[in-house]
Amino acid sequence: MGLFQRTGDVRSSSTSIPVLSIALAGVVLILIPLLAAGWISFTLGIPGQGEYSLANYKRVLLDPFGHRVILNTLLFALGSTALALATGAPLAWLVARTDLPFRHAISLLLGMILIIPGFLQAMGWAFLLSPNIGIVNRFLMQAFGLEEAPLNIYTLGGMTFSEGLSLVPPAFFILLPVFMGIDASLEEAAYISGASKARTFFRINLPLALPSLVAAGIYLFVLAFAVFEVPVVLGLPDRIFVFSTMLYIFVYFQEGAVPEYGLAAAYGSVVMIASLLMAAYYSSLIKQGRKYATITGKGLRARILQLGKWRPLACALVSLYFALALGMPLLVLLYYSLIPYFQLPSVELLSSLTLQNYINVYTRQGARPLINTAILISVVPVLVVVIATAISWIVVRSRLRGRFVIDDIAFLPLAVPRIVLAVSLLYLALLARHFLPIYGTIFLIALVHIIAFMSFATRALNGAILQIHTDLEDAGRTSGASIVRVLRRVTAPLLRPALFAAWFWVMLLSFREVTMAVMLSSVDSVVLPVQIWNLWNRALHHEAAAAAVILALIALILMLSMRRLIQRLSTPGSF
């Protein structure tokens, strides 16, 4: 019996070897940094010259600083997740089930927030509420004659607030299809029994969405636990450390000592195991999902709820969220990018507005950050989609023993903190720099992006391939075409919408990613998000604001392009 056998078919072919080779190459790419993290965690000293020891794990267990950091991280992640779910779930319900106006615009704006790096919002809130440069604080001090700033964003609560706002879009997009799929007859039964709209939401909608709420909670918690952008902007100024900034300090700020890669990997390995356990728990919960099903053979009835007198309040709350998450941070970034030094807004200020900060952004490093970013978003999505297509086809179409192990491995990067992947590859690149000179190059950043984002593409393509009947591929094989040719001429055209969605999503993820790029970049491999961080870190706040505005404009263009292309793909005969 061959490795690749379709239903009702017992054929095998050597032409399937290229597909299997690509899939296995992707599996190896994923396993290398994950296994390396465990190995590095037992090392001490200079990479390649140190000794092996359990000392790193002893420090993890006994170091009071690490304990405080983990407690900070838990509070930060739990608070951010709670705020994101408390905002995202009602917002998804309003868009899916009610007559809330501008629902499509709301989804578009949430997509905009999703692809803007979280540290842009954090920078905006620093410009608003920093004790030193915050516009709101300066205004209050001037208006009321205060000697000290009354507000301070550089706190654990400020970090949690900013991160929670930036995590609302993923919560929204996870929960939106769930609320759209709930049968309206269940809600109507509650209304007939005398339940109010609010009671129906809490007693019918939320319980039916429980698996997805848990899924969103686990996903958001894992993201928040390892996030770097917001804590590095709002936490480091007041020496408030969380997991990601602690690892960053271990690797880059040791005051002349050898970077503590082993200790960073030990912490990373512990967190990675915890993340995998949470992912496994979610998978077991999904297997019990039958009792939450509401779409049956009797058909699905959708019903739009009339908000009535609650409509103004709903619109006001939605507007408040967008003002806090997008409007205020971007407006203050634009304001700071146009002034040469700090000034409170005034009529006289109009005469001093300048584009010099934008010119300085270009003259400091030229077009190199934009070129590197273009290379990244051109190479990474294509390679990810090619590898993910091979993995998904093996998992869905073949009868290869162990194919589901391949699928599980492809899922691993989704549950592993990205900073752990970055530390592992940074260490390996240092060891291999003499015969594989990718250390400090854009190709190392591209490699870690390919590994990190592969799971997103395989999740999307698994379901899409399942929707294509095997008869179509069998017809191509019967005519003598190889598996590779069938994939290229039959499967790929039918998968075009899913392939494009995976490609575009990975491109956006690669465009906005900060954590891994900061850990792995050098002078020659700086991308646009890293350039913004470097300017901010050097206290060139006005130039950092200008670069942030440029990144936000590019993100807006990408979002509008995606919307237009999706509309074209959704129109029959458009391609």
Tell me the per-residue pLDDT of 94-123, one tens digit each, with 9 for 90 and over: 998 888 888 888 988 898 888 888 889 999
Separation CA 95–CA 544 (nearest Å): 35
Q: Report the pLDDT value the prediction gives residue 444, as an integer from 0 to 100.
A: 94
pLDDT band at 7 (very low <50, low <70, confident <90, very high): very low
Top-level class of domain 14-46+59-288+312-338+353-570: mainly alpha
Residue 178: Cβ within 10 Å count: 23
- Whether the per-residue pLDDT at 177 is higher than 50: the answer is yes
pTM over 0.95: no
CA–CA distance, 72 with 64 (Å, rounded to integer): 12
Per-residue confidence (pLDDT) for residue 255, from 0 to 100: 57
Q: Helix crossing, 243-252 with 210-226: angle to 10°?
A: 30
Cα–Cα distance, 378 to 504 (Å, whole number):
10
Between 12 and 347, whose confidence is greater?
347
Please give the structure tokens belonging to residue 143. Answer: 């208006």
Closest alpha carbon to 8 in 462, 406, 477, 458: 477
Measured distance CA(329)–CA(331) in Å, rounded: 6
Predicted confidence (pLDDT) per residue in 331-353, tens digit: 999 999 998 888 877 777 778 88
pLDDT of residue 286: 54
- Name the percent of the chain lying above pLDDT 90: 31
Which residues face 98 on adjacent strands? 305
Q: Name residue 275's amino acid.
A: S
Give the three-class secondary structure for 134. Answer: coil
454 and 413 Cβ atoms separated by less than 8 Å = yes
Tally of residues, the chain:
575
What is the per-residue pLDDT across 478-510, written as a single tens digit (0 to 9) for each?
766 666 677 667 666 777 777 788 888 888 889
* Distance, CA of 420 to CA of 271 (rounded, Å): 9
Instruction: Give the CA count within 13 Å in the CB-facing half-sphere of 65.
Output: 11
pLDDT number for residue 285: 58
Residue pLDDT, tens place only, 189-208:
666 676 666 677 667 666 76
Q: How far apart, in whole angstroms, are the C-alpha atoms of residue 240 and residue 244?
A: 11
Query: What's the mean per-residue pLDDT of the chain?
Result: 82
Q: What is the DSSP letter of 98?
A: B
The DSSP result for 157-176, as a single string, is HHHHHHHHHHTHHHHHHHHH
Q: Which residue has the tokens 């608003």?
A: 128
